[in-house]
Each structure stands twice: as C-alpha cells, then as structure tokens.
Amino acid sequence: MRARTIVILLGVAALGLAAYKSGLVAPLVASLAEKHAEKVAAKAAKPEPPAPAVSVVEAAKREFVETVLVTGSFAAREEILVAPEVDGLRVLELKAEEGDIVKKGDLLAILVTEQIETQLDANAATLESAKASIERAKSSIAEMQARVAEAKAQLDRARPLVKDGYLAESVFDQREVAYKAAEAQLESSKGMLAEAEAQKGQIEAQRRELQWRQGRAEVRAPADGLVSKRAGRIGGIATASTLTGGDTMFRIIEKGEIELDAEVAETHLWKVKAGQKARVTGPGGIQAEGTVRLVSPEVDKATRLGHVRIFLGARPELKVGSFGRGTIETGRGDAIAVPLSAVLYTAEGASVQRVVDGKVETRSVKTGRETDGLIAIESGIVEGDLIVAKAGTFLRDGDAVRAVKPDAVMSQKAVREATR
C-alpha cells in the first residue's frame, strides 16, 4: 500500500510540472493576486467608525459643606408653668391672654379673697382674746407673788415664837401650809401665762399664713416671656398643683425663645455636636438660623433615632408644635470634587473612570463629604483629570472614547443635569 501511494504522488507532481511548462499556471496565479489587491484597496477605502462620545467633567477643587438633614417639631426652649400658690380660691379676673408678651411681675389673674378676709377677722378676734388671757395671767402672777411674800413673812415670824413656846405647833403648821399653797398658786399662774403666750403665738402664725394666702391671691408672671396657653377660666376654682398632669392656669415660653426638637438617624447622629450651625425651615417656607444646643446621649431602640435641640431664639412667627426641618452643618473644607454619578461602587470599593489620551482608565478612589450633588475625592485622582460624568459598566479599561466637555461657563447645576 505504501508503494502505491508513493507512485500516485510522483504522478501528480509530474502532471503539475508538465502544466507549468505548458504555461497554464501563471495566468491563474496572476488572477488570484489581482483579486487580493482589490480586496485590500476596498478595505483601505472604507473609513473606520469614530470612537463613541462620552461626557466628561474636569476634577476641580471646591469648598464642601457637609450637612445632616433633621426633622421635628418646634418647642419652647424653657416652658414655665404658672399656677396660684394657694388652692381653693375662685378666679375673679384674668389679665392675660394667649399670645401676650409679659414681663416679670406682671399681673396675670386675680382670685377671690372674701373667705380669707373672713378668716382674718376671726383670727383678729381670737388674737385679742389671747392677749387678754395673757394680761389676766400676768395679774394673777402678781397677786400670787404678793401672797407668797406675805405667807413667807408670817412663816418667818412664827419660827422663833414656836421655838420659844409662845406659838402652838398647829398654828406654825398652818402658816407653813399657807406658804406652800401660795407658791403652788404662783407656779400655776406662771403656767397659765406661758399657755396664753403660746396660744397667742399660734394665732399670730395662723394670721401670717392667712396674710400670705391673701397676698398670693394675685397671680403674677415669674419671668419675661410669651403666654402660650391659658387654661384658667373666670369663676373656676384655682389649683396650685402642677404635678398631676393637668393644665396649669398659664404656660409661658420664657423670653419667647423656641427650639426645633428634631430627630436624627443614628448613622448621622455621631456627626452632630453642640454649637454647630443649622438652618431651619418652618411652615410657609419661613427660614431661621440656629445653633445646636443639645444632642441626646440616647438612641431610641425601636426607631433607631436620636434627638437634637436646635436653638432659634425668639421667633414669634414659628408656632410651637408645628413641623419643621433643618440642615446642620457638620463639616467644611476644600477638596477635589466630581459629580456623585461619576463614582462607581463595587465590592472592591469606590472608583471613577478617567479619560487619558482618548482611552478609558479606571481608578480606585477614596471618597469624602457630599454636598449639593457633588462628592469629595480624597485620593486616587488629581485636579484637572477628565472624569467620565456618568460611570457605568458599558465602559472598560482601554476603550477608545471621545471626551465631550461641557461648556466652561455652565454652572455646576447645569453640568449635573447634562450628565443625567
């Protein structure tokens, strides 16, 4: 079999050599070369498709103001509960209404004092009786002192007489008993005087209490402020209790100062510090500047929210209890900025795509503050780099692109809108 194959190959070679010598192969080779040249020329004449256009922005430094958004309700900075200091008196007259601005010591309400006046009259009569009892006790003491002196003198005269036998023993005993009885009566009169004086002191103390109650029948403002609520009614019985959960006669916002009692997500609460500046918006678009006064040390376990108090000062146009929102400035500084849409987040971290010599290059970056649709890039790129404005997976490293830069006079906002 092998010998037969060799014979066939030798025969084919001989036929090819004969065809070449006869001139049949040369035209065929020339025809093939001509067709190849035509294909190369056609391919050269056809233009290559242009690189895709990509919107880019130039990385540039700008000032970043980091803020935290909060929402809540307006509340009094310090609320004063005003109630009469005495219970059980009827309200005679109210001198203040809700919304009134009052000064410390201003009269807010007058209570009926007829009952106290009657008690004062009765007390005065009792006091006079006590004074009379004291005088009687003093007279009794004087009388008893005289009797004691007389009984003592008689006893002293009787001693030598009974000793010499001129006076009977029984008479001496009678005089001794009379002396001791006089002394006992004197001590009793002194006790009566002490009792009368104690009674007088008690009556005088009751009188001072009644006079104090009478003096507190006028309810006055304890501090400057704005009357936010009036619960008292003319003819109603005033109560001095402020700890039972009920309404007091008046509620006063001290100095009219209010705050925004706001809630903050726990992920941002750590950024908020006392003294930071804030801008608050109330109903109707009312704007107010404020300062963080208090940051709650606790986070609600159910809602995962913490509380902050933003002090706004006296702002009568902002009503207590109404809704408000605010932004707290938590940081400020210069950094290289790119649009938020230019940053791509993957499992490996944040990255941007920059264009270098018409080619796409992916760079890992470290991000920072965010503000107004921009994000700070702390490392990974430098100022002046051309960054793909809207990062995505359709661009790969090494892809040829044509960078399209927005008009330099366009605002940052227009740039962001153009890259959406």
Same domain, residue pair 125 and 206: yes
Structure tokens at 85: 């200091």
- Is 35 part of a structural domain of the chain? no
Q: What pLDDT was estimated at residue 219? A: 86
Same domain, residue pair 181 and 319: no
Q: Which domain holds residue 241?
A: 80-108+219-250
Same domain, residue pair 352 and 410: yes
**Domain count within the chain:** 4
- With cut-offs at 50, 70 and 90, classify the pLDDT of residue 419: very low
- With cut-offs at 50, 70 and 90, classify the pLDDT of residue 34: low
Same domain, residue pair 89 and 224: yes
- Is 28 part of a structural domain of the chain? no
Q: What pLDDT was estimated at residue 243? A: 42
Report the CATH number that the domain containing residue 261 is assigned in CATH: 2.40.30.170
The residue among 294, 243, 280, 283 whose CA lies nearest residue 69 is 280
Q: For the purposes of burial, counting CB atoms within 10 Å of the CB of 103, is it exposed (0-12), middle (13-18) or buried (19 or more)?
A: exposed
**Angle (nearest 5°) at CA 215 between 213 and 217:** 70
- Is 360 part of a structural domain of the chain? yes
The residue among 377, 365, 306 whose CA lies nearest residue 338 is 377
290, 309, 331: which is the final residue of a domain?
331
Same domain, residue pair 310 and 373: no
**What is the overall mean pLDDT for the chain?**
80
Averaging pLDDT over each range in 109-123, 191-205, 307-321, which range is the top one? Answer: 307-321
275, 308, 331: which is the final residue of a domain?
331
**Angle (nearest 5°) at CA 321 between 316 and 325:** 85
The CA distance from 173 to 328, in Å, is 102
Same domain, residue pair 232 and 173: no
Same domain, residue pair 96 and 171: no
Same domain, residue pair 381 and 345: yes
Residue corresponding to tokens 């995505």: 392
Report the CATH number that the domain containing residue 137 is assigned in CATH: 1.10.287.470
3-state SS assignment for residue 278: strand
Same domain, residue pair 158 and 243: no
- With cut-offs at 50, 70 and 90, classify the pLDDT of residue 74: very high
pTM reported for the whole predicted model = 0.57
Q: Which amino acid is at 197?
A: E
- Is 292 part of a structural domain of the chain? yes
The residue among 137, 261, 265, 128 whose CA lies nearest residue 203 is 128
Q: What is the pLDDT of residues 4-16, one digit of tens each?
A: 555 454 554 555 5
Report the CATH number that the domain containing residue 96 is assigned in CATH: 2.40.50
